[in-house]
Structure 1
Amino acid sequence: MVMQQLAATVGWSFVGVVLFYLGIRLFDLLDPIDYQAEIRNGNMAAGVILAAVVVSIATIIISVIVF
């Protein structure tokens, strides 16, 4: 029983990481701004936007996996 729960946890974690990666890549493809370069140049607004996108994608993935 414990091994099944462990396997399910690892499996859903892997699915969550893959979905998170695909969500970030999709955002990069759809938005023409290079946020990494903007953040390196000190653009604080780009960092806030990217953080909001990361939190939003994570929230969506968590809600999909839990329910």
Structure 2
Amino acid sequence: MLDVLARVAATIGWTAVGVVLLYGGVRLYDYLDPIDYSAEIRKGNLAAGLKLSALVLGLTAIIIAVLIT
């Protein structure tokens, strides 16, 4: 039973690390890119939404690959 709880705690911890890395990556991209994507998405710019969603999916794939290995 203690082994299961340790694994659950480790999973929650690594999930938190992944979320922090994803949030930091998106914030860094927003800081480095001169376009304000959140404002563009609010205006209805579909291309900005697609670009930001592709960024999130790409960062997620990289973070998952790093955390698995």
TM-score by length of 1: 0.95
Task: Answer yes or no: is 1:49 the counterpart of 2:55.
Answer: no
Amino acid in the other structure paired with 2:13: G
Q: RMSD across aligned C-alpha pairs, in angstroms? A: 0.6
Query: Using the alignment, how far apart are the partners of 1:2 and 1:54 within structure 2?
Result: 31
Identity %: 57
Q: How many residues align?
A: 67
TM-score by length of 2: 0.93
What stretches of structure 1 move > 4 A for 4+ residues in a row?
none
Query: Using the alignment, how far apart are the partners of 2:10 and 2:54 within structure 1?
Result: 29
Tell me, which stretches of 5 or more residues in structure 1 are unaligned?
none
